[in-house]
Structure 1
Amino acid sequence: MEKDFIFMDDETDGKERIFYRSIFYSYIRNLITDFFNAKLEYNDTHLRFISFLETLEDAGDVYFLMHEMPYHWALGIIQNTAEPNEEIMLDENKKNNELEFCKQFLSTSNINYFLEEFSSSNV
């Protein structure tokens, strides 16, 4: 999987953006293994997710990925379905813990978020 996906954001303001796809994938993987304490399975949902990340073509593809919270993708892979049961995340403490987990991950990865405006300092 290529590290980053740089694209013209014709969905919003026409600016060049960078989607840190390998970091996004690492975060999903860490949610599965470290946050949900589940085994990372290479099931159909996981393989489709990887394939989609590898074949991004435009802003619409990135925003499709970003319109769901990362825990949605993690639970989908854990449960091997595109429509996971998200009841596990209904607890406010769990949601707050995931937010802190994400903040720590982003800080460790030296990025503000998985999608940012592109500049030469991003690479």
Structure 2
Amino acid sequence: METKYMYKDEFGNECIFLRDAYYELVCAIITDFFEETLPNNDFHSRFLNLLNTLEGYDDVYNITTEMPFYWAICIIENEWTNKHLIKNKTNDLFIEWYKKYKQKNDIVSFIIEGINEDTYIFNDKEGGKNIFLRGKYYEFISDLIKYFFNKTHEYNELDYMLIGYLNGLPASGNDKNIEKFINKELYWALSIIENKETTTVLNEKQLEEYNKFRDEFFETNNITSFIVSQS
């Protein structure tokens, strides 16, 4: 089984499903949480076949909309089952176990998403129409991490948070909705690098280099800002 499965979501964006990590979680629920021997039965084979024969968004959706512990129980029972938990385990116990498992295995999400829509339309304080280039914004954050700070752009809690904020901009189109992004590029890049919300002040030379880097990004992408006025 290949570790990663690349597919396009319902918005046409490239996504990655970490199916190997998902399978490892289901197995760990069986052996570590339920304290059962990993069965070599028909349902186990069926589950592996589902993971190995993915053909797009619908298949990933069908697998991940079921809770991982449900797949584990089905494998233990060797059938589709209505049982929710077994051996007197409670939901609270599972939540606590899963929290520790994610921390130990550095898991944020089993699906790495892209930016759903490249642009976001909003009104400024004067009522004028503007476009926030959120796709380019995220691309710039990634370039900052990789080429300005020379760090690996890792998919972690803060990257997950930024993608969620960008994808979750409300349809109300208020200028306050983008306040957490504009002029916060360094904050987001450094926070993703540290995987925690952080504030670092650049010295005068670094700030000059940053401004040059930003201007070169704008020139390369034929823009002058992440906000385009439509007034």
Where on the TM-score scale, by shorter chain, does this alignment land: which range?
A: 0.7 to 0.9
Say whether residues 1:95 and 2:91 are aligned partners.
yes
Q: Amino acid of the residue matched to residue 3 of structure 2?
A: K
Structure 1 residues 110, 61: CA separation in 2 closer, same or farther (over 3 Å shift)?
A: same
State the shift of 1:82 in Å.
1.7
Determine the C-alpha separation between the residues in 1 that align with 2:86 and 2:4. Answer: 31
Structure 2 spans left out of the alignment, 5+ residues: 115-141, 143-152, 156-231
Segments of 4+ in structure 1 off by > 6 A?
none
Say whether residues 1:2 and 2:7 are aligned partners.
no
Identical residues among aligned pairs (%)? 36
Q: Which has the larger radius of gyration?
A: 2
Match of 2:25 in 1: 27
Determine the C-alpha separation between the residues in 2 that align with 1:6 and 1:101. Answer: 29
Q: Amino acid of the residue matched to residue 67 of structure 1?
A: T
Higher helix share: 1
Q: Amino acid of the residue matched to residue 109 of structure 2?
A: Y
Determine the C-alpha separation between the residues in 2 that align with 1:101 and 1:35. Answer: 7
Match of 1:117 in 2: 113
State the shift of 1:24 in Å.
0.4
Contact 1:21 1:53 in 2 (8 A): yes
Residues 1-123 of structure 1: pairs in structure 2 closer than 5 A: 1-10=1-10, 13-86=11-84, 88=86, 94-117=90-113, 121=154
Structure 1 spans left out of the alignment, 5+ residues: none
Contact 1:2 1:22 in 2 (8 A): yes
Determine the C-alpha separation between the residues in 2 that align with 1:84 and 1:43. Answer: 19
Structure 1 residues 16, 4: CA separation in 2 closer, same or farther (over 3 Å shift)?
A: same
Q: Secondary structure at the match of 1:88?
A: coil
Alignment: residue pair count? 118
Determine the C-alpha separation between the residues in 1 that align with 2:47 and 2:82. Answer: 14
TM-score, with normalisation over the residues of structure 2? 0.47
TM-score, with normalisation over the residues of structure 1? 0.84
What is the CA RMSD across the aligned residues, in angstroms?
Answer: 2.2
Question: More relative contact order in 1 or in 2 (CA 8 Å, sep 6+)?
Answer: 1
